[in-house]
Amino acid sequence: MAASQASLLLQKQLKDLCKKPVDGFSAGLVDENNIFEWSVSIMGPPDTLYEGGFFSAIMSFPQNYPISPPTVRFTTEVWHPNVYPDGKVCISILHPPGDDPNGYELAIERWSPVHTKQWRDSKEEFRKRVSRCVRKSQEML
Residue 133 known to be catalytic = no
- Catalytic site residue from 14, 43, 58, 90: 90
Please state the three-class secondary structure of the chain as a single string: CHHHHHHHHHHHHHHHHHHCCECCEEEEECCCCCCCEEEEEEECCCCCCCCCCEEEEEEECCCCCCCCCCEEEECCCCCCCCECCCCEECCHHHCCCCCCCCCCCCHHHCCCCCCCHHHHHCHHHHHHHHHHHHHHHHHCC
Q: Which residues are tagged catalytic?
A: 90
